[in-house]
Structure 1
């Protein structure tokens, strides 16, 4: 009987170890959103249902954080592929009046994006992206009247299969690649 109890105890311990959880997930719900891709095709948040994905907010005429963020996301994309993780990437333009599909595609390709699982989106108005970013991702997006530069968050966001933002990370400096990959593995396996 003692052996059976020990066996049951170790079975419970091992099964508990198999199911990891994220530390302090934010659990923000993404709202619905319709856009146009870098290829000029219609896109909506519904296309992301059932997929784990990483999101960020950029614009093509950005002269500060967007180029390094996009290169960092490209590096993350390569590392995710090396780890065998099935992850999608979405970059939302925060300057949709300037960033037409062709401009986004050129920007993406010039910064090393593999567009087979990375979508750049535009095709909405400025107010729409500002509201969406604040309500879903809890970041400010602001393009002051008459200005060319847009103020926006520089985070990468991990989103689960149900469209819930689980965690966010620095996307411009000191990107925690290993932590993002580890968290993505946890989200993918839950």
Structure 2
């Protein structure tokens, strides 16, 4: 009982995330061509360069969209590491930047300043031309995350619980797949392979 009282918030979020993961299970189908789920929401957010950038700035490219916070003590860093491996695979195929872009969007702008995101992205050797770390107003980001199927819940201690997933967006701006950690499909090999497939469409 003491454990439940102490960790009720995290337990609630885990239940919410698990339910979301179950709802996305249909995306795990093995068809040759991924279905169109819906149009991806556009955005204009601050890049680590200090410039504003958005989804439409990379129209015609395949895009991966991930919501995170750099102080995250658990899922964000392993997922960002997987994305760094995706980056490497796309670089090998000469797709990064020219045909594919990764967006890592922070929903904790108070801590994730431009300088913090530069430091964080450098840990993963992110190429800013093909892997963009972005920030913006908390409410704006939270609302945007919802449009990408990501729930973000702020705790009273300044921490966040959130759905850990990556959205795959095609050249035309359609969401074609969610890679969801609770479904076990958030591996760099799978993600990179699906990006490469969409790049050929």
TM-score (norm. length: structure 1): 0.78
CA contact (8 A) 1:142 1:152 kept: yes
RMSD of aligned residue pairs (Cα, Å)? 2.1
Determine the C-alpha separation between the residues in 2 that align with 1:64 and 1:129: 20
Is residue 79 from structure 1 mapped to residue 79 from structure 2 by the alignment? no
Q: Following TM superposition, by how much is the alpha carbon of 1:174 offset from its aligned partner in structure 2, in angstroms?
A: 6.0
Aligned to 1:132: 144
Larger radius of gyration: 1
CA contact (8 A) 1:94 1:152 kept: no
Q: Of residues 168, 176, 184 in structure 1, which corresponds to 2:178?
A: 168
Aligned length: 167
Q: Please list every run of 5 or more consecutive structure 1 residues that lacks an aligned counterpart in the other structure.
A: 1-19
Determine the C-alpha separation between the residues in 2 that align with 1:48 and 1:84: 16
After superposition, the Cα gap between the structure-2 partners of 1:176 and 1:64, relative to the gap in structure 1 and judged at 3 Å, is closer
TM-score (norm. length: structure 2): 0.74
Aligned to 2:188: 177
Is residue 111 from structure 1 mapped to residue 121 from structure 2 by the alignment? no
Q: Deviations over 1:69-94 (max 9, x none)?
A: 11110011101222333311110102
Determine the C-alpha separation between the residues in 2 that align with 1:183 and 1:61: 29
Q: Following TM superposition, by how much is the alpha carbon of 1:183 offset from its aligned partner in structure 2, in angstroms?
A: 2.0
Q: Please list every run of 5 or more consecutive structure 2 residues that lacks an aligned counterpart in the other structure.
A: 1-30
